[in-house]
Structure 1
Amino acid sequence: MGTATAIGIDLGGTNIKGALVDMSGKIIHRMTQATNCFGGEKDNGQRWKKAIFQMVAELKKRSAVAAVGIAAPGLPNAANSAIRLMPERLEGLAHFVWADYLREKSVWVLNDAHAALIAEARFGVAKGSKNVVMLTLGTGVGGGILIDGKLYQGKDQMAGHLGHMTLDVDREDAGITGMPGTLEDAIGSATIFKRSFGRFASTNDLVEAYKGGDHFATYVWLNAVRKLALGLCSLNNLLSPDLFILGGGITHTSDALYKPLADFMDVYAWKNAGRKTPVLQAHYSDMAGAVGAAGFAFLKMGIIGGNDVDVTLPV
């Protein structure tokens, strides 16, 4: 068989990432642009839908593609043709059938964090590992769970929404699932303006101030990282994975994230004969969702092992 290619699109609340990917997980070409879904008159997502249409058209100019994968927040339908539920964000996404809009026969849709885990399990830092937990830290916080080499999806593909775990039961405000004081609220970029009392508009701005020694920024940032450590340690107690993977735009903060995270995890982790669960940066960084979407398309087309995501992933 020759080298087939697929297009993967990762629709996020802040950016849209696109990638032309081959069967080995190699990114042949990548594209990124702002989602532009905040502010202004509501347009039912017409701006970012058009941006994805143009991105797919541009990537198709570079290679004949076997299929297109779309990774997006929310819960996909049983046919993986659309996201069936995405409350409060990305208006116009729910029930939107991408194959019709893109005028492509083979278009497959899945949750963005599940896509990121597929990329890392098949091609990235989790290759060879059987039990893995991944968190994607961006506008929101997504997650994915690999158990015994299989992506665990649960009933109606709802499993893995790790950002919606409650860390503070006394918080009155609730996230999109109705859970109070969630990990997503604690570190997701969507809440940074509120968490910083209007002082910072983005996580990048906050972290730059923290790195510059700003005391208030240090408090806000380290409080978020501490809550991430608590979430990871809780997941470790529940699932005892081989490793954790962190992906998404917030991980670009690098040492500003990983050094204090390691210190906090040393405090909270269950001491078990000195064993520490590694916390690794995603190989594909914030392109993991796009690569995983392409990988999912390969899976659904039977081009690489298995024809469904809920099968053992070759590792």
Structure 2
Amino acid sequence: MEYLHGIDIGGTNIKSIILDQQRQIIHQSKHPTTSKWASVVEQINRNARKKYNIESVGIAAPGLVNQQNDRIVCLPERLAGIVDFDWQSIFGNEEFTVLNDAHAATIAEYECHFATKYQHLLLLTLGTGVGGGLILNGQLHQGAQQRAGHLGHTALQMNLGQTMTNMPGSLEWHVGNFSAKERSNGRFDDNLQILQAYRSGDPFGQLLWLKMMESLSVGISGLINAFAPEVVVLAGGLTLAKEDLFAPLQKMMDQYEWRTNGKSTPIVAAGFDDFAGAIGAALFAHQQISTISQKL
């Protein structure tokens, strides 16, 4: 039997996963990300090849990929050396693809949890920042220059600082963990502390948390207007708040979502944990290699 291999290169950990042809997880592992991340990936691949008959390997990583999905071409100030890295130096003649990590997570969620029910899906990753991905007509939408899915850079407010994409007052700034200290005037270091204050009944913590939920609802409502997904999937660390996120968010959606014919768009939690990127990378590589084979 041939197996699918996915490797997700994150800022903290490199995740590896092996799937069989029925998408069942055979093996998974985590490895700390170091400055020698390429050597770690090479060792992971070598070990996988020794134990399994690997059909293809998919790499998930932050940043923009090229049109051929074989390298990262833009990633400001992160993972030194990954931009324009030649992956053939690791994989040689092995079949491989490279995909944005949020796009990979989107594929994992769609293919494994939603493909039998929906054709159009929007995913938001709520973590340090806000990433995302789009499934349109049953296919990952990467867009021109593979830039689609930067949903967190939707502008909500004009009089705030710009993000790396030049967007002022972005959804990412209003909800992302990186801005918690700034948004709380230095009182809270991260969103977890804001959540704890909200749960304890602290008035300022409750104000900040509900303001985050309002910003998220406005952002999601705008994205629903733009892309008309059949379902919105939320992933990332913020979703660990569970009903403290989904209950107030739904109340805000009742106010802001444009519901034609009275129909609302379901908002659900992602089914996978932090291995979603590795799973999606493995599935994308398999899809790409299968498509090429069919054309030959």
Q: Same fold (TM over 0.5)?
A: yes
Give per-residue Cα distances to partners, 1:159-210, cap 9 Å, x unaligned. 1211111111111x21111211111222222333333344444433432333
Distance 1:5 1:90, change over 3 A: same
Residues 72-151 of structure 1 aligned to structure 2 (within 5 Å):
72-101=61-90, 105-151=94-140
TM-score by length of 2: 0.88
Q: Which runs of 5+ in 2 are unaligned?
A: none
Residues 171, 215 of structure 2: 8 Å contact kept:
yes
Distance 1:253 1:27, change over 3 A: farther
Q: Could you say which residue in structure 2 is the equivalent of 1:7? A: 5
What SS does the aligned partner of 1:174 have? coil
Residues 125, 282 of structure 1: 8 Å contact kept:
no
Partner Cα distance (2:92, 2:255) in 1: 53
Question: What amino acid maps onto 1:27 in structure 2?
Answer: I
Q: Could you say which residue in structure 2 is the equivalent of 1:182? A: 170
User: Following TM superposition, by how much is the alpha carbon of 1:250 offset from its aligned partner in structure 2, in angstroms?
Assistant: 2.4
Give per-residue Cα distances to partners, 1:37-88, cap 9 Å, x unaligned. xxxxxxxx62444444444455556533222211112110122221101123
Question: What amino acid maps onto 2:21 in structure 1?
Answer: M
Residues 35, 79 of structure 2: 8 Å contact kept:
no
CA RMSD of aligned residues (A): 2.5
Q: Could you say which residue in structure 1 is the equivalent of 2:247? A: 259
Partner Cα distance (2:40, 2:202) in 1: 37
Q: Could you say which residue in structure 2 is the equivalent of 1:162? A: 151
Partner Cα distance (1:14, 1:211) in 2: 28
Question: What amino acid maps onto 2:267 in structure 1?
Answer: V
Corresponding pairs, count: 293
Q: Does 1:239 align with 2:237?
A: no
Distance 1:307 1:165, change over 3 A: farther
TM-score by length of 1: 0.83
Residues 119, 138 of structure 2: 8 Å contact kept:
yes
Distance 1:105 1:254, change over 3 A: same
Residues 115, 296 of structure 1: 8 Å contact kept:
yes
Give per-residue Cα distances to partners, 1:227-268, cap 9 Å, x unaligned. 111111011112221111112232222222211111111111
- The structure with the greater share of residues assigned to helix is 2
Runs of 4+ residues over 6 Å off in structure 1 = none
Distance 1:230 1:296, change over 3 A: same
Partner Cα distance (1:64, 1:288) in 2: 22
User: Following TM superposition, by how much is the alpha carbon of 1:225 offset from its aligned partner in structure 2, in angstroms?
Assistant: 2.2
| Pairing partner for 2:286 from 295, 298, 303 | 298
Q: Does 1:214 align with 2:202?
A: yes
Q: Which runs of 5+ in 1 are unaligned?
A: 36-44, 309-315
Q: What percentage of residue pairs aligned between the two structures are identical?
A: 40
Partner Cα distance (2:15, 2:208) in 1: 28
Distance 1:57 1:183, change over 3 A: farther
Residues 81, 99 of structure 1: 8 Å contact kept:
no
Partner Cα distance (1:58, 1:222) in 2: 47
